[in-house]
Amino acid sequence: MATIRPRVKAPRKASAGEVVEIKTLINHSMESGQRKDKDGNPIPRQIIHRFEAQFNGQEFFAVDLQPAISANPYLSFFAKLEESGEFTFRWHDDDGSVYEETKSVEVT
Amino acid sequence: MLEMQDSGGTSRRRVLFSLGGAAAVATGLSVVPGLGARLAHATEAEVAETIKEMLGEVPAEGGVSVDLPEIAENGNTVPMTFEVDAPMTADSHVKDVMVLADGNPAPRVATFHFTPMSGKATASTRMRLVGTQNVVVVARMNDGTAMMGKKQVKVTIGGCGG
């Protein structure tokens, strides 16, 4: 598999109390475990099964993903910001890998 | 003229027809058991069962809007957005949202977890749909109240294939 690189689009500035949209994308085949290879052997499942979004260390949004989520999983959601700080996003792979991305935001 | 066509054409037609018939029978025989073995689909009953596991009962429809294309050309990546009609305050907020599909090999698609800091109980993703089916979204509030939304999607080319 190609190098897995998470991508996040989040605003850099926001006003206090504003609800901002965050869009995330990560390249991953999300192998469902339903498919078979050329010789008819089942291809084992390997997906991203958990996504977590934290702000200043506090988890505010999470998703448990199933094989029915498309390859290169896209997620968009919202956050209500009261103070400046840093977002941390984590993707958990079936193989134990964790992919992480951070974004800081200035709240005025 | 008529006689000539009859003698020549009929036999050709007969050959074509019998070939077509044989082909139809052959594909019918090979496709149906193949599908059955490969894709044990979820059913509406299974979806209801999964909802009951989470909520105890299947809630009445309403309170959740589900935005999906009416017709999805590619079942491998069907965009979906849901919106739960609820405030997101510390006292009253949406905690969990479960997305289910009643025609996929497994009914569960994803479960979203919200907090008051989520701002609003709205999220988008892209899902695989193996064929035309209903997508069901159930939401649970922090006080246990449940809501549900449902939308049918017609899928031209199914996802999950192999």
**Per the structure block, which two tokens stand in for A30?**
């999300």
Q: Hunting for tokens 């998703």 — which residue is that?
A: A63
What are φ and ψ of residue B123, in 5° steps? Answer: -155, 160
Residue A36 domain-assigned (yes or no): no
**What is the predicted pLDDT for the residue at B88?**
95
CATH number for the domain that contains residue A101: 2.60.40.10
3-class DSSP state of B156? strand
pTM beyond 0.90: no
Q: Say whether B162 and A63 touch across the interface (CB within 8 A).
A: no
Full residue range of the structural domain in which residue A67 is found? 1-22+55-108
Q: Hunting for tokens 């449940």 — which residue is that?
A: B146
Cα B138 from Cα B98, distance rounded (Å):
5
CA-based nearest residue to B77, from A2, A6, A73, A21: A73
Highest mean pLDDT among A34-43, B7-16, B28-37, B145-154: B145-154
Q: Which residues in A lie closer than 8 A to residue B113 (C-beta atoms)?
A: 61-64
CATH assignment of B44-155?
2.60.40.2470
Q: Which residues in A lie closer than 8 A to residue B126 (C-beta atoms)?
A: 69-70, 73-74
List residues of chain B with CB under 8 Å from any CB of chain A: 38-39, 76-78, 88, 101, 104-106, 108-120, 122-129, 159-162
Compare CB distances from B115 to A36, A60, A76 and report the shortest one's residue.
A60
Give the domain ranges of chain B: 1-37, 44-155
- Give the whole-number percent of chain B exceeding pLDDT 70: 72
What domain count does chain A have?
A: 1
Cα B47 from Cα B51, distance rounded (Å):
6
Cα A91 from Cα A88, distance rounded (Å):
10
Residue A88 domain-assigned (yes or no): yes
**What is the predicted pLDDT for the residue at A85?**
97
Q: Which residues in B lie closer than 8 A to residue A44 (C-beta atoms)?
A: none
Residue A18 domain-assigned (yes or no): yes
Q: Which amino acid is at A43?
A: I
User: Cβ neighbours of residue B63 under 8 Å, at least 6 residues apart?
Assistant: B84, B85, B86, B139, B147, B148, B149
Q: Hunting for tokens 């934290």 — which residue is that?
A: A54
ipTM of this complex prediction, to 2 decimal places: 0.95
